[in-house]
Amino acid sequence: MSETQARDAGELSRSLGQVRVVSLDEAAGRAVIEYRCGMHMCHSGGVAQGGFVTGWIDAAMAHATMAATGFDMIPMTLEIKVSFFQPAAPGLVTAEAWIERRGRSTVFVEGLLRNADGDVLAKATSTIRLVPRAKFG
């Protein structure tokens, strides 16, 4: 990864409010990441904008995929579907993701977002194309 790519990844993580990567399990293709939802991410009534919710789960799904490929592949989201169950409010949220099925160039991933009480706020599924990191320099 180039210095520019690393810097951009750090900026993206900060923009999403990433607190920490709780766990990465290469063997299981799983990831857990904590985020802090701030009021600047919310609209009416202190509800997190859906794009942030989607971004938190999408980032966890990407991390699960990268971990499972030894960080040799770049995950490119081909399709994502999110179901929103409850609003996300300011505070700590946790995104969890896991690989459901993996082929040579395509991965099917699932994920969810929980609040600090453990309530499931949203669930997602994604189809991800694997692209060798070497193609990006």
pLDDT in tens, 120-129: 999 999 999 9
Domain containing residue 61:
3-136
Report the relative pairing of strands 73-84 and 47-48 from DSSP bridges. unpaired
Place of tokens 């859906």: 50
Kindly report the pTM of this predicted structure: 0.91
The domain total for the chain is 1
What Rg, from alpha-carbon coordinates, does the chain have? 15
pLDDT in tens, 59-109: 999 999 999 999 999 999 999 999 999 999 999 999 999 999 999 999 999
Which element (helix H / strand E) includes 79?
Answer: strand 73-84
Q: What is the CATH number of the domain that holds 38?
A: 3.10.129.10
